[in-house]
Amino acid sequence: MKGLISGVCLTAALGLSSAQAANQEIRAKFQPDSSQPNKNEFVNQTPNSGYCATYPAECERYGMFSIQTPIRFDSNRPLPVGEPVGVRVPADWRQLTVTHRDTGETATVEVRISGIGSTYVLSQSAASLVGVTDILEGHQKLWGSSWVNAPSPCLVSGVGAYTPATYRFFWRTPVQQTCRKQAAYGIPQMSFNGLDIAYELRTPNPLGMSSGEYTGSLTYTLGPSPGFDGFEMGSLVPDDNALTLDFVLDVQHTLKAELPPGGDKVVMEPAGGWQRWLESGQKPVEIYRDQMFFLSASSRFKVMLVCRWSTGGPCIFGNGQGGSSEFEVRLTVPGGIAGPGGADGWTGTLMHNTWIGPFEPARYIDRKAGVLRFLVPRQGQAIDRLLNYGGTFQGGVTIILDSEV
């Protein structure tokens, strides 16, 4: 099972020297939601800015978000008539490994670039370059069509914005191919101010990950001729030679067990009470009590029983007058949680000072009922000792749930 964050629009650039690389942090968080227990996905936490902050309705249509950090591409020579200018992005899926900062556990994230945009800047107005007076007509005549219209195989994503010498655009990139426009007139100098990138992010199943932060990085080269894993803006030269996306996946699991009011006091007795034993002396077959509890869990966990008194086997309770006997604790977890061996709704006996697990939720379990059965064992002499000594026997246990499996 994988979470999916789709269509996040990122504008990446820090204006560093060409010998350095631009870095951009991308954050996503998983936190269980009781209103959507089956939604086991990371949610993008990177603040929205840039293109999608300006045109939120357009980005909402395609499920995109944006971050703006300017990288600049400049032409180092005049562009002649017919010069192809366009974009090429690494639109195929790539994998990176994210590592837990404390435990060293790893998980795989997949990323693909699904869109690109920028603002082209001309050395003079488009209208003056083509010999017209209308601003929009100038941009359209210079390239044969407006830059809001994406050339194949790129796809239009929404709106554009222009001034006499600039045009802001954004194109979706369904495949890893170059999308070109050709200048119908010569351009003395041109630049792209800002590199807007949309990406899709496939995240691992958070239910199989430990709480905490996982980090990893993926580096893309910047053109021209960037290779398979890079960005190209025609022959224009970037002011950074690489773009590194630094991913932080924050996993915030829930693990909570609750007893109902009075559930911390358990009284074991035969079915129907002690009346039959008192009246006829008939030995009880079972002495037990079922105690319901409520469990919320979104991650793997393990369980351990700690007896107040034990000789290394079952727990011990006594009557305060030298008499003692044994009792056990059996755990039944809610459905939707697989216990040791893969059994759903696992039932088994807890052992003193022994971890049992892992228990793995198939989905977020939100305050579902489980059962703790406290019982005097049928086997051996435990029931006989209890009856022979008489009195009130008391003992105690602590049950520990730990997400660090």
Angstrom distance (rounded) from CA 18 to CA 28: 29
User: What is the reported pLDDT for 375?
Assistant: 95
**Nearest Cα residue to 171 out of 113, 211, 214:** 113
In terms of residue numbers, what domain contains 140? 3-251
Angstrom distance (rounded) from CA 340 to CA 324: 32
How long a stretch of residues is the chain? 405
Both 274 and 299 in a single domain? Answer: yes
Summarize pLDDT for 95-119 with one digit per residue, the tens.
999 999 998 999 999 998 888 889 9
Amino acid present at 371: V
Angstrom distance (rounded) from CA 378 to CA 270: 12
Among 251, 278, 311, the domain boundary falls at: 251
Both 53 and 193 in a single domain? Answer: yes
Both 209 and 277 in a single domain? Answer: no
Angstrom distance (rounded) from CA 222 to CA 239: 9
**Nearest Cα residue to 94 out of 72, 78, 112, 67:** 112
Both 115 and 241 in a single domain? Answer: yes
**At 193, which helix (H) or strand (E)?**
strand 190-193
User: What single string gives the DSSP state of each residue in 9-32?
Assistant: EEE------TTS-EEEEEEEEE--
User: What is the reported pLDDT for 266?
Assistant: 94
User: What is the reported pLDDT for 315?
Assistant: 93
Among 195, 221, 251, the domain boundary falls at: 251
Angstrom distance (rounded) from CA 287 to CA 276: 13
Angstrom distance (rounded) from CA 218 to CA 215: 11
Both 189 and 333 in a single domain? Answer: no
Summarize pLDDT for 280-338 with one digit per residue, the tens.
777 888 899 999 999 999 989 999 999 999 887 889 999 988 899 999 999 999 999 99
Both 268 and 128 in a single domain? Answer: no
Q: What is the mean pLDDT of the chain?
A: 87
**CA trace torsion 380, 384, 388, 394 (10° rounding):** 80
Close Cβ partners of 73 (under 8 Å, ≥ 6 residues apart): 118, 191, 192, 195, 233, 236, 237, 238, 239
Angstrom distance (rounded) from CA 185 to CA 202: 43
Cβ count within 10 A of residue 273: 10
Among 251, 270, 300, the domain boundary falls at: 251
Q: What angle do CA 205, 209, 214 make, to 5 degrees?
A: 100
Q: How many domains, in total, are found in the chain?
A: 2
Written as six digits, the tokens of 188 are 């003395």
Looking at residue 60, what DSSP letter applies? H
User: What is the reported pLDDT for 187?
Assistant: 96
User: What is the reported pLDDT for 235?
Assistant: 86
Both 122 and 271 in a single domain? Answer: no
Written as six digits, the tokens of 226 are 């960037």
CA distances to 209, 215, 324 from 299, in Å:
7, 19, 39
Both 323 and 228 in a single domain? Answer: no
Written as six digits, the tokens of 349 are 């006996």
User: What is the reported pLDDT for 21?
Assistant: 58
Both 228 and 268 in a single domain? Answer: no
Both 376 and 227 in a single domain? Answer: no
User: What is the reported pLDDT for 350?
Assistant: 94
Both 243 and 268 in a single domain? Answer: no
Contact 165, 122 (CB under 8 A): yes
- Residue by residue, pLDDT tens for the chain (405 residues) are 333 333 344 433 333 333 345 788 899 999 988 788 778 888 888 887 778 888 888 888 887 777 776 788 999 899 999 988 988 888 899 999 999 999 899 999 999 888 888 999 999 999 999 999 999 999 999 999 989 999 999 998 888 899 999 999 999 899 988 899 999 999 999 999 988 888 888 899 898 888 899 999 999 888 776 555 778 888 899 988 888 899 999 999 999 999 999 999 999 999 878 887 777 777 888 899 999 999 999 989 999 999 999 887 889 999 988 899 999 999 999 999 999 988 899 999 999 999 999 999 988 999 999 999 999 998 878 888 888 888 899 999 999 999 876
Both 10 and 31 in a single domain? Answer: yes
Written as six digits, the tokens of 254 are 């829930």
User: What is the reported pLDDT for 214?
Assistant: 96
Written as six digits, the tokens of 271 are 């079915």
User: What is the reported pLDDT for 192?
Assistant: 93
CATH number of the domain residue 273 falls in? 2.60.40
| Three-state DSSP class for residue 328 | strand
Tell me phi and psi for residue 36, to 5 degrees. -135, 70
**At 251, which helix (H) or strand (E)?**
strand 242-251
